[in-house]
Structures are given as C-alpha cells and as structure tokens.
C-alpha cells in the first residue's frame, strides 16, 4: 500500500528523466536546425560563386566580342582603303593607257613624217 501512496503522492516520478529527454530532443532539434542553416548557407555560397563565375565568363565574352568588333572595324577600314586604292589604280591605268595610245599615234605620225622626208631626199 505504501507503494500506491507513493505513486499517488508523486504521479510523475520520472520528471527528471522526462526533462532530460526533452532537453536532449531540443538539443537534437537545435543541432538539426543548425545543420540545415549551415547547408543553406553553403548552398547560397555555392550559388553566389557560380553566379560570379558566370558573370566573369559573360564579361570575358563581352570583351572578346568587343575585341572582335574592333578587329572587324580595322579590317573594314583596310578593305575600304584597298577598294579606293584599286579605283585610283584603275583610273591611273586608264590615263596611262590613254597616254600610251596618244604616244603611239605621235610615234606613228613621226615615222610617217620621217618616211616622207626620206623619200623627199
């Protein structure tokens, strides 16, 4: 009967154990929360690094594209200068051809005059 009285007067004899179990459960829960927070932080850092790498690659691509554009512009100007030089060369060749034809005509006339002068002697 004393046992019953003891049980009746102290309905929860394992309160200390219950408290320890709750404290352990709380500790495990806090540890799990810390682990989740750490994993989230690590994931965020990984994403930040990936975004930074992508930004760097994008910047490199932009610089390459800008460099290519400058090279293309230099090549375009060179091609334009060559086209103008070719036009000038064609014009000069035409003038030279015209001058050569005139010279040929003068030479032919001079030959003809020389032949006439020889025959007149």
* Run of H or E including 85: helix 15-120
What pLDDT, on the 0 to 100 scale, is given for residue 74?
98
For residue 104, tell me if it sits in a domain. Answer: yes
**Does any domain span residue 4?**
no
**Model pLDDT for residues 23-72, shown as the tens digit of each residue:** 999 999 999 999 999 999 999 999 999 999 999 999 999 999 999 999 99
- Cβ proximity of 57 and 51 under 8 Å: no
What is the total count of domains within the chain? 1
| Angle made by CA atoms 110, 97, 81, in degrees to the nearest 5 | 155
Structural domain includes residue 116: yes
Structural domain harbouring 28: 16-120
User: Is 45 within a domain?
Assistant: yes
Task: Indicate the pTM of the whole model.
Answer: 0.50
Rounded Cα distance between 77 and 71, Å, is 10
Task: Please report where in the chains the tokens 């002068």 appear, as a residue.
Answer: 117
Average pLDDT for the chain? 90
Three-class secondary structure of residue 14 per DSSP: coil
């Amino acid at each position: 009967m004393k046992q019953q009285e003891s049980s009746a007067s102290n309905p929860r004899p394992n309160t200390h154990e219950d408290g320890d179990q709750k404290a352990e459960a709380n500790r495990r829960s806090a540890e799990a929360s810390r682990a989740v927070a750490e994993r989230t932080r690590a994931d965020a850092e990984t994403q930040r690094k990936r975004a930074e790498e992508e930004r760097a690659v994008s910047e490199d691509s932009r610089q390459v594209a800008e460099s290519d554009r400058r090279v293309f512009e230099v090549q375009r100007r060179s091609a334009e200068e060559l086209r103008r030089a070719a036009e000038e060369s064609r014009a000069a060749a035409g003038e030279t051809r015209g001058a050569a034809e005139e010279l040929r005509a003068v030479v032919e006339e001079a030959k003809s005059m020389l032949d006439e002068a020889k025959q007149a002697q």
